[in-house]
Amino acid sequence: MSAMLEVAGLSKTFGGVKAVQDVSFSVAKGSIHSVIGPNGAGKTTLFNLITGVYTPSAGSIRLDGEEIGGMRPDVLATRGMNRTFQNLQICFNMSALENVLVGRHLHLDRSFFKAMFRLPAITRGDAAAREHAAGLMEFVGCGKHVRAQANSLSYGVLKRLEIARALAAEPRILLLDEPAAGLNPKETVEIDELIQKIAATGITVVLVEHDMKLVMHISDHILVLDYGRKLAEGTPAEVRANPDVIAAYLGAA
């Protein structure tokens, strides 16, 4: 499989803190790639570098061969990259469907004059976008909440809704920041199934996750960070058997 994302010599320093140090790895197109590591290992910083929240101190990030290091998240969305956040980014004063529509804005035809005169094309566009968003809610398992207000939904449903919103931009690569955080075991199994369903559509998935059962079950490849550096990488079986990984996790326990 060819590499969709290639990270080389990536570093990020905050004052004197080396949050990410000289990290290199690549993500194969269509794969599920997890990033794990003890607390403070640099996982979130790595995600924020890849998704344009932070500018790298050094190194390169390539998406389909194009350098994307330092590009803004909205520009990256037009290049086919989207993400979810560890803390929910839901607008609670909007409906569930509207939250998904927010993620669709890239694909809406919003020229000023069309919007001003509500030309038929834009009305058609709105109807199609709503239909698309409702379809995504169905896909992530929130179909029965299409008409609900966001503030009436449970945490588990909101986590799925956030994934639906990220999918609304039609990404080719989706980064999920702790998709199972705060979920109960049943909801975690459902998220596991959803991630596999997303990957089966051809979308490349990268995730940061603390739930080892989920990571070991769904990942094609795992990158292990420790103190900002790459400690190990490989298949779940390789990573599980790696003495350095075992030591890092036992040390952190």
Q: Is 83 in the site for ligand ATP (CB under 6 A)?
A: no
What CA dihedral angle connects 204, 208, 213 and 216, to 10 degrees?
50
Q: Among candidates 24, 28, 2, 27, which has minimal Cα distance to 11?
A: 24
Q: Of 40, 125, 135, 182, which one interacts with ligand ATP (CB under 6 A)? A: 40
Q: Among candidates 248, 195, 189, which has minimal Cα distance to 224?
A: 248
Q: Is 44 in the site for ligand ATP (CB under 6 A)?
A: yes
Q: Of 4, 27, 37, 150, which one interacts with ligand ATP (CB under 6 A)? A: 37
Are 153 and 96 in contact, with CB atoms under 8 Å apart? yes
* Cβ-based neighbour number of residue 163 at 10 Å: 26
Nearer to ligand ATP, 40 or 234 (CB): 40
Which x/- pattern over 16-35 shows residues binding ligand ATP (rule: CB under 6 A)? -x-x----------------
CA distance 170 to 164: 10
Minimum gap (Å) between residue 17 Cβ and ligand ATP = 5
Q: Is 207 in the site for ligand ATP (CB under 6 A)?
A: no
Minimum gap (Å) between residue 43 Cβ and ligand ATP = 4
Q: Which residues contribute to the site for ligand ATP (CB under 6 A)?
A: 14, 17, 19, 37, 39-45
